[in-house]
Amino acid sequence: MRIISGIYKSRKLFSPPQNNLTRPTTDRAKETLFNTLGNYFSFENIVCVDLFCGTGNLGLESISRGASLCYFVDKYIKSVERNVRELKVEDKCEIFRGDVFTFLKSGAPEKIDICFADPPYNFKYYEKLIKEVSKMKTVFVLEHSSAKKIEFPEITPFLTKKIGITTFSFFDAD
């Protein structure tokens, strides 16, 4: 796993051995994701959130492309802490250890330009997550398994991209 583009291009990120706690986004999927996002806006000086961040892969890619700040949220933060430290980007990162819903209800900053969420594939609270993030009025990218059909009853993605076993659903800021 590596940074695809920007000032940290080609830098490798630490990823723990495959386990039930992390499932990093592949380089191929991440490249498709960021190429798609690049068609809509610039990453220069944006503020982002990486929910269920694991290694911090998506947030660190955003920082490499010019984001000024990223909030990383996960119950297990050792991998993201290590990657932030190795890239020496501590001044652009805030790491929160704990539940994503607690962060969204009480710790999320007011101004967020883009929010990434990559919950475990066995996650059961997609509808609740989408509703909570939609309150932030931010562009929201949800990564989920292509094998699992997810219903979006109230808020519909404006775009979906399937890359292998991964699907990205993109939601508008409104």
Task: Give 138-169 pLDDT, tens digit per residue.
Answer: 999 999 988 877 877 778 899 999 998 899 99
pLDDT at res. 50: 98
20 domain-assigned: no
19 domain-assigned: no
pLDDT band at 23 (very low <50, low <70, confident <90, very high): low
pLDDT at res. 16: 81
pLDDT over 90 for what percent of the chain?
70
57 domain-assigned: yes
Sequence-distant (≥ 6) Cβ neighbours of residue 143 within 8 angstroms: 25, 29, 33, 116, 117, 118, 119, 166, 167, 168
108 domain-assigned: yes
Compute the average pLDDT of residues 121-139: 90
What residues make up the domain containing 151?
27-171
pLDDT at res. 35: 94
Cβ-contact 52, 100 below 8 angstroms: yes
Closest CA to 6 of 55, 32, 47, 43: 43
Task: Enumerate the H helices of the chain as residue ranges.
Answer: 27-38, 57-64, 78-87, 100-102, 126-134
pLDDT at res. 77: 96
| CATH number of domain containing 114 | 3.40.50.150
12 domain-assigned: no
Cβ-contact 86, 150 below 8 angstroms: no
7 domain-assigned: no
Total tally of structural domains belonging to the chain: 1
34 domain-assigned: yes
pLDDT at 28 > cutoff 70:
yes
Specify the DSSP class assigned to residue 164. T
124 domain-assigned: yes
